[in-house]
Chains A and B, each alone.
With several copies, the nearest count.
Chain A
Amino acid sequence: MSAASERAVEAVLFASAEPLSLDSLRAYVGEGDGGSDIRASLAALAERYRGRGVELVERGGRWHFQTAPDLAHLLRRDREEVRRLSRAGIETLAIIAYHEPVSRAEIEAIRGVQVAKGTLDVLMEAGWVRPAGRREVPGRPLTYATTPEFLSHFGLRSRRDLPGLDDLRAAGLLDPVDLAFEQLAVEKDADDD
């Protein structure tokens, strides 16, 4: 890693209106002294900015600078408040994020109510959810998944950073009821023996 490469990556990320992937950064900065140069520069910059008023963060394989969250109180004034999601919107978003890709019917099975027409629209309009192909089962239902903007917005490096994901998975709470039920029946039989 060279100081020149670090400066270049810093300038390009500062100037960019969008978070940038390694590939995009390479297209602007050039290969430099080697392919790993940019990765090393990013690591050095993240270290340099740690604890400052501005931080370098990685979100879904893309990097950007943002202000330190603990300074939010200084910056919120006369700024448009982030749009408030309805409860249905929040739950639907959480279900998609923790189960993706997931079909509308699967979302409805978890929530116990129909997904209102506008709910998915709002999430897609916000840029947090996208159609993620059809499932190859009868009816070929469309599935949904989250986007890189979802990770950026909620400050997640990757989906693995979703709060409580590991616990939920370990507890089987991300499995469909049928599967969980069978699992429990097997355990019960084993206990009975």
Chain B
Amino acid sequence: MSDAPEQLTLDLEGWEGPLDLLLSLARAQKVDLREISILALVEQYLRYVERARVLQLELAADYLVMAAWLAYLKSALLLPRDPEVEPDADELALRLQLRLERLDAMRDAGARLMARDRLGRDAFRRAAPEGLRVVRKAQWTADLYGLMTAYGRVSARSRPVMHVVHDREVMTLEAAIARVAALVGSAIDWRAIEAFLPEQASVALRRSALASSFLAALELARQGRVELRQEAPFAPLYLRRPAA
């Protein structure tokens, strides 16, 4: 740690991963990347990592993985070619070289991009444009049927409610009480409530009579003037005169 210049050159903070470091080392060879000596590059990288280790610098795992892989590549490159091993070392070296070329190309492209005349740095748009406006104009639509139903709706809602239920017969509660009381007076046995309804009645009147007669039966039962029996909810409702 005492060797300051050495440590500076080993500042791994500056590299974005092993490929980045490899590319920097390759560029230091000062030849076209296509002409580069992969073997020399591998040795440089391994030497670098070794020195970091001697200096007890902490290396990220991916640098060590790359080091292991490059060590393998180096031995494969140095050993006689074994046709059984796929892919062979030359192929691996070539792939590494292709990757370095591609990263180098993009790094270069990025630099050229940043050096262009950039808007807001080298060229400026008008700072206070009048601005363009889009005026949204509604084209309203409605149809005659909609107009008619709307008026019908309003009229129905607001017209004085002339609920003259002219064609509707009803049996009032009073009438039902009188009727049920009279009929039950003559009934010794249980009789279903339907037997107390007028026979010659319209559907609407029978509905009204049923409702009124039911209420009448409840009222008469309360007064002790009739007994009620029902086996189960919604079962037929029977009425008779109280036993004694």
Contact = CB atoms under 8 A, between A and B. Distances in A.
Contacts of A89: 140, 142
Contact of B139 (A16, A17, A82, A186): A82
B188 interface: no
A52 interface: no
Contacts, number: 259
Interface in A174-193: 174-177, 179-181, 184, 186, 189-190, 193
Given A93-B113, A171-B152, A174-B156, 5 more contacts: A15-B129, A75-B130, A90-B111, A154-B142, A177-B156
A94 B109 contact: yes
Interface in B15-35: 16-20
A43 B134 CA distance: 26
Contacts of A181: 91, 94-95, 98
Interface of B: 16-20, 91, 94-95, 98-99, 101-103, 105-114, 116-144, 146-159, 161, 163, 203-204, 207
B116 A94 contact: no
Interface stretch (A33-41, A66-74, A132-140): A66-74
A84 B141 contact: yes
Q: Pick from B20, B142, B161 the residue with the most CB of A within 10 Å.
A: B142
B147 A94 contact: yes
Interface in A27-71: 28, 55, 64-69
Contact of B124 (A67, A91, A125): A67
Given A16-B131, A67-B124, A177-B156, A153 B151 contact: no
13 contacts: A76-B134, A77-B134, A84-B142, A97-B147, A113-B19, A154-B116, A154-B118, A155-B122, A162-B109, A163-B109, A168-B151, A177-B99, A189-B207
Nearest to A55: B123
A79 B126 CA distance: 13
A10 B4 CA distance: 55
Interface in A81-101: 81-85, 87-91, 93-95, 97-98
Interface of A: 11-12, 14-18, 28, 55, 64-69, 72, 75-85, 87-91, 93-95, 97-98, 109-113, 122, 125-126, 128, 152-156, 162-165, 168, 171, 173-177, 179-181, 184, 186, 189-190, 193
Contacts of A76: 121, 132-135
Contact of B18 (A18, A90, A112): A112
A97 B126 contact: no
A15 B127 contact: yes
A163 to B, nearest CB: 4
B150 A90 contact: yes
The 9 closest A-B CB pairs, nearest first, are A112-B19, A173-B152, A69-B117, A94-B110, A126-B140, A94-B151, A113-B17, A17-B127, A90-B110
